Structure 1
Amino acid sequence: MYNCALILAAGEGKRMKSNTPKVLHKVCGKEMVNHVIDTLKSAGIEDINVIVGKSAEQVKEKTGDRNASYSLQDAQLGTAHAVKCALEFLKDKKGTVLIFTGDAPLITKDTVEKLVSYKDEEDYSGVIVTSIIENPFGYGRILRDRDGVKGIIEHKDCNKDELLINEINAGMYAFDIEDLVENIGKISNDNVQKEYYLTDIIKIFVKQNKKVGSLPVPFEETLGVNSPLELSKVEAIMRNRINTMHMINGVKIIDPVSTYIDVDVKIDSNTIIYPGNVLQGNTEIKEGTILYPNSRIENSIIGENVTVQCSVILDSTIGKNSTVGPYAYIRPQSVIGERTRIGDFVEIKKSVIGNGTKVSHLTYIGDAEVGQNCNFGCGTVVVNYDGKKKCKTIIGNNAFIGCNTNLVSPVEVKDNTYIAAGSTITEEVPEESLAIARARQVNIKGWVSKRKTK
């Protein structure tokens, strides 16, 4: 059976009070609309059309790598009007179309699969996703009679008895494509809001004696976002799901409430994550790694048996059996080798650090290639910027860089070299050499006594 989907993403989201379109606000590192797209794809729905509005170009830019198509709703005249704007997408299609909203990112793969199979097995013209809640204020109510679902009525149009109904419409549906296309034009805007409600098609189906069903799901899956407060609630639910999944898979998270892991982060089993860690983007944490409290790691690969303490690692790779921190800053495009030591208050920028090298404290390395088994003394600085351009430093294997050394780029330090503490190196240091580049010490005897006398 052919299946496709429409995602309603044209709303402006004025209550978000933000210049970012509502559906592009992120939940656990991913835009809400992309959560919905990815969930549909994981359930086997590949043909997806996103209905966009005023912020069409922004939405297209952020969803462009997901192979979706787009329909434009140039005026906000209701959900049925949005579907009408996608009729070209549905033209000549036969099968099932799912309709979801781009601001409800908690829907699960399991629910999508159930919705499709339930609609097909029972041969329904339409299936409504519903939930039972104690306080249904603001939600459309499901109207039933002895034969089942007979319609949906929006909250603002409810009478006193209808307001007491606690089965609500989640705003998610499965429709027979031909039945939907045939009847969408029959919906009117004769209601309080003067909008074209997609929910009205249920009444039309009932009048035509077409079968309509409902699929109850947990309320949290249906939660939509209309404000920063609602966004924070959805984020908390998603974060709990993510952390629970990792713990089931063998990750030890000491305090899940204070651990923030984005949805696309991958973590091997037998790792330990302490409170306050923030793992973002496409980060990968390999087996045996320990993340002590309060680090931020984004789009980085952390190798096996690495220890990270209170540091920031961005768009970089850390080799296995290495240690980072505390208070280290690994900036983008850095590659830290195996068995390395990146210590406290060390900053690495766009550099390669070889296996076994130790950069223990208070050091800056930028735009450099560093070999294996080197040692950097405290206070070393790679002077990589001449005021106009960034220049490169190359350091060979087994180099010993003394404390408070300045390496003025571009410069090369060959294998098996020593640089004396306090040196400013501006020329190549040959292999097996000791480089000393500092003023000769002069001691003036009696200078202090003479100064006091004066």
Structure 2
Amino acid sequence: MTDARPIAAIVLAAGKGTRMKSQRHKVLHPIAGRPMIEHLLESLAQLQPERMVVIVGDGRDQLEAQLGNRAELALQDPQLGTGHAVQQAQAVLGDFSGDILILYGDVPFVRPETMQAMIERLHRDDDPDVVVLGFEPEDGLQYGRIIAEDGRIAKMVEFRDADAAEKACRLCNSGLMAVRGTALFDLLDKVGNDNAQGEYYLVDIVNVANREGRYCAVISTDDEHEVAGINSRIELASAERRWQGRRRAQVMAEGATLTAPETVFFSWDTALGQDVLIEPNVVFGPGVSVADNVTIKAFSHVEGARLAQGVEIGPYARLRPGSVLEEDARVGNFVEMKKAVLGKGAKANHLTYLGDAEVGAGANIGAGTITCNYDGYFKHKTRIGARAFIGSNSALIAPVNIGADAIVAAGSAVSRDVGDGELRLVRAEQLVKPGWADRFHDAMKKKKKLEGQ
């Protein structure tokens, strides 16, 4: 092994993505709630590259908005093949003398270990100029082939240009490469487009290097899904299914119980503690943190929420962004929270909406209670003190404060603050009219009979 050289990355993302049938850029379609290119960039970040260039074409503005200043963008227009795409990075990396990884924005699940192995292969004593990542799928389909012997590449060939013997080769080209920065653009300058597609193929840098007596090597991954490209909605769904399957296995191995794993869907950043119980048909959106000994009952949806130890939610609970449940708090069926805190041991057992609210420790929120937080123009806050009791079917019209140990009687519409220990009863006087209902029914029955004649 030689001393480490700096690393740069070129990420190809200029394809039109026509098979997606979408106005959204292909590499921005989400897997586990995260754009697929961000999965790739997270893995790449573990290698700490000094430079990163993303090759863009259609949808450039979308990628600019997503990536900000995390990458330099280079435009490929017109699009004349993968070799031509990589060549667009020359203005940025033409003087870069380190190692360059060539990756694809629609191949999002390349492991950092695989990237590192490609870089390390460049540093071996045989001193290759190019390292190609190969794989051996069950069905070679129309992948390009790598003709190699003892790890040295003799020839790279695209499927359309391969003869029968070459197509019989099982070692396929993933498209991913590691190349010496001192060699990449020199080799690309010598690539032609005399092929079935009339394009400048990136793989031809290997053939050019071979003609010049340089050394090119191949390493392989044993997981073909690691290098699977995503070009259609069907492939996107397959990638989601594989990601979810791996994540379910991981959380169970780390101490969570999933009673029906195939029905639970995680986000890319879901964090679970130990002894968490998750019942069937639970969906996690981004930004969820769950502590130890939490129970999430069936048919619940949780996004942007923090659940402390001993919390129980559901079934049929919905926690929206900004929801916080402190230790041993309880949210029951058909309860929705948004930007609200439920204090330690507090309960909202059923049919409740808590929005822009703070609920104190030990408070009890009765069925059918809502915080009226929006006046059509602005959001307002409701604060409920510790151990307060809110009776069923109450409307708390924000901004409003309910004091500690206060009681709001069932059916109240509270628009003014309630002090500590007070009882607030807001109901209209009940009016009784004896016999009125009987007379009403008689009149309606006669009218209906007349109209039916």
- Equivalences for 1:201-240 in 2 at 5 Å? 201-218=205-222, 219-240=224-245
Counterparts of 2:68 and 2:349, CA distance in 1: 43
Question: Do the aligned partners of 1:128 and 1:172 also contact (CA within 8 Å) in 2?
Answer: yes
- Equivalences for 1:219-368 in 2 at 5 Å? 219-307=224-312, 324-368=313-357
SS at match of 1:33: helix
Counterparts of 2:347 and 2:165, CA distance in 1: 74
Which of the residues 95, 109, 112 maps onto 1:106? 109
SS at match of 2:392: coil
Counterparts of 1:156 and 1:168, CA distance in 2: 13
Aligned to 1:167: 171
Q: Give 1:306 shift.
A: 2.2
Q: 1:272 to 1:187 in 2, by over 3 A?
A: same
Counterparts of 1:84 and 1:174, CA distance in 2: 15
Moved more, 12-21 or 268-277: 268-277
1:421 aligns with 2:425: no
- 2:364 corresponds to which letter in structure 1? N
1:13 aligns with 2:2: no
Q: 1:196 to 1:337 in 2, by over 3 A?
A: same
SS at match of 1:161: helix
User: Would you say how many aligned residue pairs link Structure 1 and Structure 2?
Assistant: 437
Q: 1:275 to 1:46 in 2, by over 3 A?
A: farther
Which of the residues 160, 166, 184 maps onto 1:180? 184
Which of the residues 117, 121, 124 maps onto 2:120? 117
SS at match of 1:351: strand
- 1:26 corresponds to which letter in structure 2? P
Aligned to 2:93: 90
Question: Do the aligned partners of 2:193 and 2:200 also contact (CA within 8 Å) in 1?
Answer: yes
Moved more, 399-408 or 126-135: 399-408
Counterparts of 2:151 and 2:347, CA distance in 1: 75
Structure 1 regions of 5+ residues with no counterpart?
308-323
Moved more, 127-136 or 271-280: 271-280
Q: Give 1:449 shift.
A: 7.8
Question: Do the aligned partners of 1:106 and 1:238 also contact (CA within 8 Å) in 2?
Answer: no
- 1:93 corresponds to which letter in structure 2? F
Question: Do the aligned partners of 2:301 and 2:318 also contact (CA within 8 Å) in 1?
Answer: no
SS at match of 1:213: strand
Q: 1:128 to 1:412 in 2, by over 3 A?
A: closer
Question: Do the aligned partners of 1:417 and 1:432 also contact (CA within 8 Å) in 2?
Answer: yes
Counterparts of 1:445 and 1:173, CA distance in 2: 88
Moved more, 167-176 or 405-414: 405-414
Aligned to 2:391: 402
- 1:27 corresponds to which letter in structure 2? I
Aligned to 1:30: 34
Counterparts of 2:296 and 2:441, CA distance in 1: 56
Q: 1:89 to 1:287 in 2, by over 3 A?
A: same
Structure 2 regions of 5+ residues with no counterpart?
444-453
Counterparts of 1:283 and 1:46, CA distance in 2: 32
SS at match of 2:123: helix
Moved more, 159-168 or 109-118: 159-168
Q: TM-score, normalised by structure 1?
A: 0.88
SS at match of 2:42: helix
- 2:214 corresponds to which letter in structure 1? K
Q: 1:240 to 1:425 in 2, by over 3 A?
A: closer
Which of the residues 59, 66, 71 maps onto 1:55? 59
Q: CA RMSD, aligned part only?
A: 2.6
Deviations 1:151-207 (A, max 9, x none): 211111122322222211110111111111222111111111111001111111111
Identity across matched positions, percent:
35
Counterparts of 1:449 and 1:9, CA distance in 2: 75
1:155 aligns with 2:159: yes
Which of the residues 126, 130, 151 maps onto 1:126? 130
Q: TM-score, normalised by structure 2?
A: 0.88
Q: 1:240 to 1:91 in 2, by over 3 A?
A: same
Q: Give 1:332 shift.
A: 2.7
Which of the residues 365, 368, 386 maps onto 1:376? 365
SS at match of 1:367: strand
SS at match of 1:98: strand
- 1:220 corresponds to which letter in structure 2? H
SS at match of 2:189: helix
Q: Give 1:146 shift.
A: 8.6
- 2:310 corresponds to which letter in structure 1? N
Question: Do the aligned partners of 2:257 and 2:276 also contact (CA within 8 Å) in 1?
Answer: yes
Deviations 1:298-340 (A, max 9, x none): 2322222222xxxxxxxxxxxxxxxx22223333323333332
Q: Give 1:450 shift.
A: 8.1
- 1:378 corresponds to which letter in structure 2? A
Aligned to 1:315: none
Q: Give 1:443 shift.
A: 4.6
Q: Give 1:281 shift.
A: 1.9
Counterparts of 1:146 and 1:431, CA distance in 2: 81
Q: Give 1:120 shift.
A: 0.8
- 1:123 corresponds to which letter in structure 2? D
- 2:14 corresponds to which letter in structure 1? A
Counterparts of 1:405 and 1:265, CA distance in 2: 34
Q: Give 1:367 shift.
A: 3.0
